[in-house]
Structure 1
Amino acid sequence: MNQFTLSALAFLGGVFLAIQGGLNSHLGVLLKNPLLASVVAFFSSFIFALSIAFFSIEKLPTLSQVKIIPAYLWFTGGFFSVLGISLYYYTIPKLGVSTMISLGLCGQLIFAVIAGHYGWLNLPTEPITVKRISGLIAMILGILLINGK
């Protein structure tokens, strides 16, 4: 896939996350519990993911491939997913979707720049540069403009 297509897919993924955040935070308000909305969202996500995987996976991993996966990788991603998504559902009705998404994106990008610089989470290193810092500053200014009264 070329860079334009990958970028368009990433953009579309962001749109989908904003849509699901808005819909599921409304569900959390109606259920009077954002964590319960997360349970519903993750259960339906599980059903959709399982269905898609069933039709798209050509070959399952072997037992030896599964055995070498560190135990923490089976749970920590899901743990942080529940925390992050539940916080979205909790804060969107209080802050508004554009404020919450812009602040959430800010947190993601700042963490991503730091994690990339140090190669945390077993990812390739991407050094912090003046250009990246300038981008973060521009993003923070943009967030201030988006959220300014």
Structure 2
Amino acid sequence: MGEFWPVPDVLTYLGGHWRVERTVRDLASGDLGRFTGTTVFGPLEGGDRGGGLLHQESGTFTWHGVARPAERTLRFLAGPDGTADVRFADGRPFHHLDLTAGRYTADHPCSADLYRGEFTVRDADHWRTVWRVRGPAKDLELTTDYARVG
């Protein structure tokens, strides 16, 4: 088996519960934050898994020694050939996701900053995202490891 694990259908792969650990590095200041929690990929309201998944993440984010509850919601809509279109909770486009090779890079412009995400799948129960954020407002690296629960 190679370094990356091909995923023929991203929605089928992601469905279920995941343990999440994220580090957030501010490359300008050297500050480091951590998020720990869970992500659930469940069917979208009024739809089934074939039409998309609702990504609901919740946990605790610690920054400068202060721990706070944190959550986010995304929508993963079925794309062609086992891919997905990822959208924010309000329906705005975020990025495309194609894990058929086990690895994918996506860009998301946000105002003057550019988010570049690299997605890698290690095996049936482990995957990672690394977002590099560059621009006038941000210089960050966010690394998230997902491990399937159950």
TM-score range, shorter chain: under 0.3
More strand by share: 2
**TM-score (normalizing by structure 1):** 0.25
**TM-score (normalizing by structure 2):** 0.25
Structure number with greater Rg is 1
